[in-house]
A and B are shown apart, each in its own frame.
Chain A
């Protein structure tokens, strides 16, 4: 098999596609960006469905949550604000019914259970920008003191606020200021009048949402919500009581988060910022900046071994280790649009799928390109996971609003490249067990008492040698001719009983033809053997001659059968062997 050359979009040379087309709905009118897809068992029926955070088009400016079963839209729910991300989570370990959906939109996180609104979590407000507060306070106070119809004060106020907007950008100003500045001048006084006594705050804004496992590695495990905020914090939200259990200080606002590990043990949250900052933060410690990417990041995914992969807008894909060291960087043929992890546990693989504009979805195993999914349009968001009954489904939403689901074949094999680092030290991988401490201690004893050990062993050996020789004489030569026998016999019992077959192989071991007048006698202790005596033909050298006799035990008790090879005119047999007939089984009644 040949690997793909880097800039050819077709998946030729890979022995056919690894993906089966399941759903292609070009007119789904879904507009989803990275992080806006989730596959979740919304009803707890064991039938996971696709949930999308649809941003809507420019004309129909309303964001919606849409739930799909296969290619069919089941339900949709309007959202007041544009969603910045959605995740599914479980609040209890091992309970499918506890599945819920969290949508981060604006300054709130909406939680849905069974696709019904369940809880709305409002992010804690941030302090307004100091200068803005001061100025508005100052102006408003002056204006307040000066009297109600003091118009110029409002003019000064708006001017000051406009300079502030130019200096710092809109993101630091409170919505009230922005609204004031966006109003027509004749409406401003009433607005100021209405709001000037209310303290100036800035609502917290959720920029992204993710989950982290609480204390279990099971498939259905309770997790905490991670909410990235504009103020550079990550809020860790308990999913039962919806209280903030921890705030991780990042210092810059994240746009994508990934939680690795277990929160209860060792966990790490990897975050990537709008300006290309990539860093990680651990529970109870300050954040650590891993790298500053040359361009804004598109999407973030975890790598096996708790590292992270980032797709960057300049068309590159970076891999980082869990300590933050850069492992690899590959150049993509075009700009990436989304990145998701593609675990294939059946093959022990953890792949990465990158959606690349004009090139479909490219699958990487680490830095090696292994496959490409061709799509009609560029894919703007993807999600891989169990959908319906299919465990390995890749859901893709295209830029044009189409919905496409493909299924990874069970036979799909991604081993198109051989890991080169395996080859050179293949031979040296052979592990040899080390000699244990016990062995070393024993060697010391051996060295100190060498003479004694030697003497004991040899005394014993001599005794054993004598015993063996005696036994051998007893067993081997009492009933047969002494000296090495020219004929050997081996016998085996075949059958289930009560009639057995005894297969005897007689072999002449000498180089010449055997003597004449050899015959076999079978002596059964407790069995009838037929025939009892068998004359043997002339035995050629080394060819085993099979002889078959029948034996049937007389009673339930097993008996020995002695097989003797004798020569006419001699008293003692030439060779002797004995076999044991097995006990007979009771006949099974039908």
Chain B
């Protein structure tokens, strides 16, 4: 059989590694065969082809060294960075480290902290085993690239530095696979950009595909405004969902959620009821703390795609925090039927059963969650079990659970806080205070430890400390009623003096 034919056949059967091996041997015989060269390029690219839209994470370089910041004090409700200023929700959702409400599913960029201080930025994410949230986007890409290169014994397939980019840019048949190879396999956005610039010139700026690729390169290099320009220009030539979604991402990176929503609406005119765009809209609204709208879009996502895990989980979550655990239970059960099988889901099921008064299923759910839990999430499971223990009235068990949560994850601030509350019930004021301090040090975005600490100080009579700490609580959550009352009482005290 002709080896080229078998290589193509392997390629079409997605056996990329074998295809690449055959191509390598063929290239040794005739290094100038372009067909084989392109085939090998495609095979190598498709091995590492990823959906890079979903996989992005804002790194420390973007969050700290960000020069795209439009306004330090955005108008209320117009920024993703300060969502507490927008409409308050119905129930009280816990916040993630960024101060955003907890999302239904863990996505990239929902867990990472949009840190205000350097120390907070440098602190590793709570349950993460890697330093991922603190690296830059480019850094991560390089790591992925090097990993793939290690598998090649004879060095890299294409020496990018020796590549005559202008020659290949003029040949559209080669330029496109070559670009994807450089972008996805070599992860070198600069070379890719160089190629894309020359290729788009070669086709007189008429090919929308090159504009999208240019935008991708600019985005990867952090030149968001240039990326926006390219995507918009590409959309003028040709409307694709990918371009729209990428443009939405640009606006989210620029912290312009309303511009992103405009793009979504425009996109929906062309691709009506498109699930990806609807999901993006729901996420933006969720980020803005506008849960009603977010739910509306998640529900329309579900109408289009009844097996959309993110939408089901988000709606379930919304119902849970809206005092309808029985409805939430239904959504989570649906997820279970769909084959999602992990500790988080069982924990949620257990909590829903417990608060919906379906006590007979509660414990078995938690037991399964404990069995399935990994080191990363076992702390959260223990923390949630402690709630059951507290509700049942078994303080001893609750303390044990919280201690287990802390031993599993030493920076579990919520556990420290609750442990403090339990200690203060036992009249161990000193221990309680220490736990509150520990919790507040770990997570200054939580208002509970600040308030608890202030209340404790107030009861002991340390009004000055109480006054300082309650202000921190109000900074974390400006509308917290108890903190406000305490603050007013303290103000009255000090004005008497």
Contacts and interface: CB of A to CB of B under 8 A. Distances in A.
Contacts of A497: 131
Given A457-B362, A544-B437, A468 B131 contact: no
Interface in B49-76: 60
A510 B430 contact: yes
Interface stretch (A165-173, A316-324, A438-446): A438-446
A149 interface: no
A583 B129 contact: yes
B327 A496 contact: no
A578 B379 CA distance: 13
Interface in B341-380: 356-360, 362-364, 366-367, 370, 375
Interface in B366-406: 366-367, 370, 375, 385, 388-389, 392, 394, 397, 400-401, 403-404, 406
A556 to B, nearest CB: 10
Given A468-B397, A494-B123, A586 B139 contact: yes
B430 A452 contact: no
A472 B405 CA distance: 10
B130 A586 contact: no
Interface stretch (B13-21, B196-204, B318-326): B318-326
A217 B3 CA distance: 61
Contacts of B323: 432-433
A526 interface: no
Contacts of A5: none
B468 interface: no
B434 to A, nearest CB: 5
Nearest to A582: B131
A488 B123 contact: no
A439 B326 contact: yes
Q: Which of B322, B359, B441 has the most CB of A within 10 A?
A: B359
A468 B394 CA distance: 12
B247 interface: no
Contacts, number: 159
Interface string B130-141: 111011101110
A11 interface: no
A201 interface: no
A460 B431 CA distance: 32
Contacts of B327: 436, 438
A578 B410 contact: yes
A436 B320 CA distance: 13
A507 B438 contact: yes
Contacts of A436: 324, 326-327
Given A442-B326, A496-B122, A542-B434, A433 B90 contact: yes
A465 interface: yes
A589 B119 CA distance: 25
B171 interface: no
Given A558-B130, A582-B131, A583-B131, A493 B123 contact: yes
A583 B130 contact: yes
A577 B438 contact: no
A419 B32 CA distance: 79
Given A558-B129, A583-B131, A585-B143, A505 B438 contact: yes
B149 to A, nearest CB: 11
B138 A588 contact: yes
Interface in A449-501: 452-454, 456-457, 460-461, 463-465, 467-469, 471-472, 475-476, 488, 490-497
Given A494-B119, A544-B438, A468 B135 contact: no
Contacts of B438: 488, 490, 505, 507, 544
Nearest to B431: A509
Contact of B410 (A443, A454, A491, A586): A491
A476 B407 contact: yes
A79 interface: no
B363 A464 contact: yes
A588 B430 contact: no
Interface in B413-434: 416, 428, 430-431, 433-434
Contacts of B407: 475-476, 576-578
A583 B139 CA distance: 13
Given A433-B323, A463-B367, A582-B131, A495 B122 contact: yes
Interface string A531-564: 0000000000110100000000000001000000
Given A469-B400, A497-B131, A588-B139, A442 B356 contact: yes
A579 interface: yes
A573 B215 CA distance: 57
Given A438-B327, A582-B130, A453 B385 contact: no
A586 B129 contact: no
Contacts of A469: 397, 400
A372 B476 CA distance: 43
A475 B404 contact: yes
Contacts of B357: 442-443, 446
Contacts of A578: 407, 410
B124 A464 contact: no
B330 interface: yes
A453 B359 contact: yes
B134 A496 contact: yes
A580 interface: yes
B356 A439 contact: yes
Nearest to A577: B410
Q: Which of B135, B433, B434 has the most CB of A within 10 A?
A: B434
Contacts of A413: none
Interface string A249-281: 000000000000000000000000000000000
B128 interface: yes
Interface string B316-341: 00000011101100100000000000
A578 B375 CA distance: 12
Interface in B293-322: 322
Given A446-B357, A492-B124, 11 more contacts: A468-B400, A490-B416, A490-B438, A492-B442, A510-B430, A544-B441, A576-B407, A577-B410, A585-B143, A586-B139, A586-B146
Interface of B: 60, 90, 119, 122-124, 128-132, 134-136, 138-140, 142-143, 146, 322-324, 326-327, 330, 356-360, 362-364, 366-367, 370, 375, 385, 388-389, 392, 394, 397, 400-401, 403-404, 406-407, 410-411, 416, 428, 430-431, 433-435, 437-438, 441-442
6 contacts: A433-B323, A457-B363, A465-B394, A492-B442, A510-B430, A542-B433
Q: Which 5 A-B pairs have the closest CB atoms?
A: A460-B363, A582-B131, A457-B359, A456-B360, A472-B400
